[in-house]
Structure 1
C-alpha cells in the first residue's frame, strides 16, 4: 500500500463516486492512504461518503458536486483541484441506454457523449501534464466490454466506450516512457445501479461481479495496462466474439439481445 501511495498519491480524483464502481474506488483508494476528490451529481451522497472516509481512514476527502453532462463541469472540477498534487485520475462516471437506436431521445444520447467521452478527455488532458512533470502517476478509465465490439441495441454506449478504449490505449503508449500508467478497465456485468436503471434485473445477468471486486482488480492491475477485463467469463466470451467474422458476431449479438 505504501508503494501504491508513493506512485499514485497523494491525491486521487474519482468521478462517479456516489455509487457503484466509483464508490468502491473511493473507499479502496482512501484505504491505500490517498486523499480523494469525490465527483458526482448527487452531493448528499458524496458528503456522506467523504465523512465516512475521513473518519475511517483519516484522509482528506473533497467533494465536488458536478454533472458531467454539463460542458462546463470539467473546468469546475479542475478549478477545485488547482493546487492539489493529483497523482491519479479515476475517470469512472458514465451511463448507458439500452434499446433501438432511433427510439432513444437524441438529447440523452448527446449527454451520453458528454459524460462518457468529452469529460474524461478534458480531465485527462489537463491532469496528464502534471503527472509528466512528476514522472509518476496514473490514469484509469472505466470503459466496458461493450467497447470492444459494436453492440446492437446499445449502439451509442458501445461507441462511447470504443472511444474510451482507443483513448486509453493511445495514452498508455504515449505516457509509458514518462512513468505514467494508464489502464482502461472493461467490466462485464456488475451489480450497480446501472442495470436497474436500464430495466434489467441484475439477477438475470451472467457472472455478475460486485463493484468492490471490479475496483480491487483494477487497482491491482493499474501498472500493467493498457486494457483489462476483470471477469474471466467476459474475457473468454469476447475473445470468442472477436475471433469470429465481424458480421457473424454482430448478427449473433443482435439475435441474443432480442430474445
Structure 2
C-alpha cells in the first residue's frame, strides 16, 4: 500500500499550514510513506525543526518555504519556487477560523481569513493542475470543515469560506474524472489542534494524526470525506432536515452553549 501510494502521489508532496495541527500531521504521515516534502507556513523556524526531524527519522528530502498566505501573491511565489519539483500531491491545509456573532467580527481579520481559506487553495490548485494532468496521476487534498457543509450560525464567515472550499473540491473532482488526478475535500469535525485549545464544550475531539492518516487512506474516495463517525452522522442528519429547521436549531444550540 505504501509503495503504491508513493508511486501514485510521489515523489514530492506540497503541504501548506505545515507548522502545526493537521498540516503537521500530514507532513509526518507523508514522510512515513516515503514522500519528499515541500512545507510552507508562516512560522519558518518551526518548519525547519520539523524538516530536520523528518529527514532524520525517514530519510526523505524536506524543503521549507516561509509564507504568509494572507498576502495575496503568496501562492504565486510558492508556485514559482516549486516549479522545478515533481509534485504529485497538494495538501492545501492552511486556514484559520473566527467564531461568534457575525457583526462583532473585525472586517480586516475576516478579509484575511477569506484570503487564506479561499484564495490560496484556489490559486495553488490552479497553478499545479496542468503539471498533475500531464503526469496522469496525483492528487489534491483540500482541508475544509464540516462547517462548510451547511451555513453554521455564529460561525458565519468561517463557514462561508469552507463552503467555497467544498464547492471547489467537488467541482474539480468532477472535472478531473478520467485524468488520474484524485481530489478529496476533507471535512473534519472538532480536532485537537491549536485552533480548538481553550474552547469549551467540545466533545468527540479527533487527533490530527488520525485525520491526516484517514484522509490519505481515502484520497481516492472523493469528492468529500468526513473522517469522524460522530460528525459524519451528525451532519448527515442536519442536512436531511428542512433547512429552516436545521439552522434555527443550530443557532439555539450555540446560544445555549454561550450562556
TM-score (norm 2): 0.97
Deviations 1:176-225 (A, max 9, x none): 210100000000010000013xx514xx3121100000000000000111
Deviations 1:105-144 (A, max 9, x none): 0000000110000000000000011010010000000000
1:22 match? 23
**1:246 and 2:247 equivalent?**
no
Structure 2, gaps ≥5 residues long: none
How many pairs are equivalent?
Answer: 255
Deviations 1:21-50 (A, max 9, x none): 000000100110100000100011000000
1:258 match? 255
In the TM superposition, 1:203-222 aligns within 5 A as 204-222=201-219
Of the three residues 209, 220, 224, the one matched with 2:221 is 224
Structure 1, gaps ≥5 residues long: none
What's the offset of the Cα at 1:72? 1.3
In the TM superposition, 1:104-115 aligns within 5 A as 104-115=105-116
Equivalents in 1 of 2:101, 2:192: separation in Å?
Answer: 24
2:172 match? 171
Deviations 1:65-90 (A, max 9, x none): 00100001101111221110001000
**1:122 and 2:119 equivalent?**
no
Equivalents in 1 of 2:33, 2:175: separation in Å?
Answer: 27
In the TM superposition, 1:85-164 aligns within 5 A as 85-164=86-165
Q: CA RMSD in A?
A: 0.7
**1:180 and 2:181 equivalent?**
yes
2:37 match? 36
Equivalents in 2 of 1:174, 1:245: separation in Å?
Answer: 30
**1:200 and 2:199 equivalent?**
yes
The DSSP-based 3-state class of the residue aligned with 2:177 is helix
The DSSP-based 3-state class of the residue aligned with 2:195 is helix
**Which 10-residue stretch deviates more, 24-33 or 71-80?**
71-80
The DSSP-based 3-state class of the residue aligned with 1:177 is coil
